[in-house]
Structure 1
């Protein structure tokens, strides 16, 4: 696999069942990625280093998943010029995920974090691939085929329902 273009990070290994969806769709779309745990609260030095060194390692987009207070996406965005996509994760100590959603959405002007729906890491992976696809024709072609397959499945379902 080529060197990673997307960094997938999460606040805890317990977020992996959600964040794995981003990795799976990136693999399907042919976009190299890396995946690891980076906690804003428990390993702030690791978070600082990851955010500051990502660009130098060839990372183009960071997908950051976090539950509860969900500071990871915003803090990483404050430390890098790379696009950051936040994935609010409904964690065991969450208030139905609303705490995570609002923590990631409510970023101050100047520090944007693109935010997907609760537990929607697959959409984060697709969005990251679309960003990479603006300069990579192979990824663009894979995205076109992916979207065509989505449309085909809807048409197939419609035919089945309509008789």
Structure 2
């Protein structure tokens, strides 16, 4: 079980940490890369070329501004790509629309703006289809989440 986390700029690092946190919670190995689709496309292609050889099974890609990175990755890999739109301008809506509006046959699963944690969780769900022990952990996580929510909110809340 191994996930690649790729984002285009050092300034995206704080936002993309959420994906790593989710993967760590479930013991899923990951490797993070700063690779711009525009500034170092050759290096990006090199990493993608070797992604399957290095046993990556999913890619989380964060991007802001032009937000081409997830789509470029999806066009060069058959691994599932999860896009994280990053709020760099126009409240992140420009990034969201850029990532979610992929052409037919080149999909990118897309999570909410700046929500890399959910990208990590989606990667875990994808991997849980193949790994029974991860599926068991995910089911337990969901059960505990529900129980905690009910416990904390069962008696109502004070406003």
When the two structures are superposed, what TM-score results if normalisation uses the length of structure 1? Answer: 0.92
1:44-55 map, 5 Å? 44-55=41-52
Where does structure 1 differ by over 4 angstroms across 4 or more consecutive aligned residues?
none
Query: Structure 1 residue 123 and structure 2 residue 115: aligned?
Result: no
Alignment pair present for 1:62 and 2:94: no
- Secondary structure at the aligned position of 1:96 is classed as helix
The Cα RMSD (Å) is 1.3
In the TM superposition, what are the counterparts of 1:7-156 in structure 2 within 5 Å?
7-91=4-88, 94-156=89-151
- SS of residue in 1 equivalent to 2:53: helix
Number of aligned residue pairs: give it.
Answer: 158
Once the two structures are TM-superposed, the CA of residue 162 in structure 1 deviates from its matched residue by 5.6
1:24 is paired with a residue whose SS is: helix
Q: Which runs of 5+ in 2 are unaligned?
A: none
